[in-house]
Structure 1
């Protein structure tokens, strides 16, 4: 089977063999790996068992990239999911700044915005390396939501021990925070801290692999109706040498983990109207 062959069509996401191969240990994740997991979470019991699932929005990586690069975020109101009624918005952050490169960047992190409290919880598995990108996205989001200002906090986050686990850890961090909402019975007063041993990259890779294989086993290679969506990247019919999330060995993440993480305010972000 070739890397560009589709192994599963899951609603609005096509999973390619390349995407499945990325689930092996020490492989880099691309946008599609995160997009599939977010699509799956939105249709899983973890999400649907929430008291108000409509209050939580999982923005896809391509949407976050578009938001980060847009000169005027207000122009995106008609193409992004409705955000006005959202309480929590999950935004996977990538450090790709090249608008001409659909698949690029070297690191994934996670920003979770509480629109009611006007707080952004920032999780980075590599010592806040993406914090500037998170600040840019947060500032664009405040303009889009017209909420004045947003306080961004860097949260204690389990640290990766290699240069390839940031993508799977963002997927597992998202799952973990959603599970916190379910366990609490309410998303109003959830402890947003993540325990040091709460996230296992290897178990995360195994879980995502098993999920795809189980879906194929139960339902075949097509699950649900595929709608036309605004943000899908065209796959070339050739093996790609670079990853969406971490594109070159020259820009590889450090293998050193943080000796200590503390909750600190990064800065207050204000919108310019």
Structure 2
């Protein structure tokens, strides 16, 4: 049995999901979805699923799976900035997910850019040094961009601070956050051993 650890907004995390944060594992849709949902509530920078055109920033986790079923082997981050009408792509594996990000951007540009052609830019990104941390890089890059946008009015990625050691530390911090939320009474359905 795989008990539920945390039900938070629209996210449901099971013990097996949270255990992915504890070791050298790829993160799944549930952990990345939870992180984006948590950041959306805390930082108010992520978009709600509706009314995209009214938002300044849109953050999208991109997976390299072209099928309708779950799967894929790599995550990257695509960010749309409404004021400049451009997509910025951050990939911890040197543009390996560029094709998938460009496909998403081309499908969304008419909705987000009021019919205007949007610019697509591959942005400098920290490089992962293993085969499993791409999901953590997506979460950490999104969080860093949101923090910079709050401080400076526009995001600028501090690439040099997102080191492999930092990513490992953040993996542990997200695991502790989930455990803390599971133990608190925040209107969530909770179950944590």
Question: In structure 2, how many angstroms separate the alpha carbons of the residues matched to 1:18 and 1:6?
Answer: 9
State the match for 2:27 in structure 1: 29
Question: In structure 1, how many angstroms separate the alpha carbons of the residues matched to 2:85 and 2:53?
Answer: 13
Question: In structure 2, how many angstroms separate the alpha carbons of the residues matched to 1:130 and 1:136?
Answer: 10
Q: Cα offset for 1:197?
A: 2.6
State the match for 2:107 in structure 1: 140
Matched residues, number:
186
Partner residue of 2:188 out of 220, 223, 234: 223
Do the aligned residues in 2 keep the contact of 1:95 with 1:105 (CA within 8 Å)?
Answer: yes
| 1:198 to 2:162 alignment | yes
1:163-182 matches, within 5 Å, as 163-182=131-150
Report the TM-score when normalising by structure 1.
0.64
Partner residue of 1:130 out of 91, 97, 112: 97
Higher Rg:
1
Do the aligned residues in 1 keep the contact of 2:90 with 2:125 (CA within 8 Å)?
Answer: yes
| 1:93 to 2:62 alignment | yes
State the match for 1:154 in structure 2: 122
191 and 37 in structure 1: CA distance in 2 versus 1, 3 angstrom threshold: closer
| Structure 2, gaps ≥5 residues long | none
Q: Cα offset for 1:43?
A: 2.0
Report the TM-score when normalising by structure 2.
0.89
Q: CA RMSD for the aligned pairs?
A: 1.7
Do the aligned residues in 1 keep the contact of 2:53 with 2:111 (CA within 8 Å)?
Answer: no
Q: Cα offset for 1:35?
A: 0.7
Q: Cα offset for 1:201?
A: 1.6
Do the aligned residues in 2 keep the contact of 1:58 with 1:91 (CA within 8 Å)?
Answer: no
Relative contact order, higher structure (CA 8 A, sep 6+): 1
Do the aligned residues in 1 keep the contact of 2:47 with 2:55 (CA within 8 Å)?
Answer: no
Q: Cα offset for 1:37?
A: 0.6
Deviation larger for 160-169 or 17-26: 17-26
Secondary structure (helix, strand or coil) at the match of 2:53 reads coil
Secondary structure (helix, strand or coil) at the match of 2:128 reads coil
Secondary structure (helix, strand or coil) at the match of 2:151 reads helix
| Structure 1, gaps ≥5 residues long | 48-52, 60-79, 225-273
Secondary structure (helix, strand or coil) at the match of 1:122 reads strand
1:241-260 matches, within 5 Å, as none
Do the aligned residues in 2 keep the contact of 1:38 with 1:58 (CA within 8 Å)?
Answer: no
Deviations 1:16-69 (A, max 9, x none): 11110110221111111111111111222xx1xxxxx4xx4347xxxxxxxxxx
> Which structure shows the bigger proportion of residues in helix conformation?
2
| 1:6 to 2:4 alignment | yes
